[in-house]
Homo-oligomer: A and B are copies of this chain.
Amino acid sequence: MNIGEIARRSGVSRSTVSYALSGKRPVSDTTRRRIQAVIDELGYRPNATARALKEGRTRTIGLIIPPASQRLTDMQLGFVASVVDAAGRADLDVLLSSSGGEHDRSFERVVGGRRVDGVILMEIRLEDDRVTSLRRAGLPFVGIGRTSDPEEMSWVDIDYETLIARCVHHLADLGHRGIALVDRSAELAATGYGPSHRAHAGFLRAIAERQVEGVHTCCADDATSGVSCVERLLVEHPALTAIATINEAAVPGMYRGLEQAGLSVPRDFSIAGVAGRYLAENLHPPLTAADVPADELGAKAVELLIERIADPAASYRDLLVSPPISLRGTTGPARPRH
Contacts and interface: CB of A to CB of B under 8 A. Distances in A.
Interface of A: 43, 45-53, 58, 60, 63, 65, 68-69, 71-72, 77, 80-82, 84-85, 88, 91, 93-98, 103, 105-106, 108-110, 112-115, 136-137, 222-224, 252, 256, 278, 282, 284
A252 B223 CA distance: 14
Contacts of A69: 81, 85
A152 to B, nearest CB: 20
Contact of A95 (B68, B94, B108): B94
Q: With a 10 A CB-CB cut-off, give which of A49, A50, A106, A223 has the most chain B CB atoms.
A: A49
Contact of A68 (B81, B223, B278): B81
Contacts of A72: 77, 81
Contacts of A224: 282
A97 B223 CA distance: 30
A77 B74 CA distance: 10
A91 B136 CA distance: 23
A68 B91 contact: no
A106 B77 contact: no
Copy number of this protein in the oligomer? 2
A88 B98 contact: yes
A58 B109 CA distance: 12
A48 B113 contact: yes
A336 B171 CA distance: 45
B136 A45 contact: no
Q: With a 10 A CB-CB cut-off, give which of A63, A88, A106, A115 has the most chain B CB atoms.
A: A88
A114 B47 contact: yes
B77 A71 contact: yes
A49 B52 contact: yes
Contacts of A222: 282
A94 B115 CA distance: 11
Contacts of A48: 109, 113-115
Nearest to A97: B93
Contacts of A51: 113
Nearest to A51: B113
Nearest to A259: B284
Given A49-B49, A53-B53, A71 B278 contact: yes
A190 B107 CA distance: 41
A105 B88 contact: yes
Given A47-B113, A68-B81, A88-B106, 13 more contacts: A46-B113, A48-B113, A49-B53, A49-B115, A71-B278, A72-B77, A88-B103, A88-B105, A91-B109, A93-B110, A223-B282, A223-B284, A252-B282
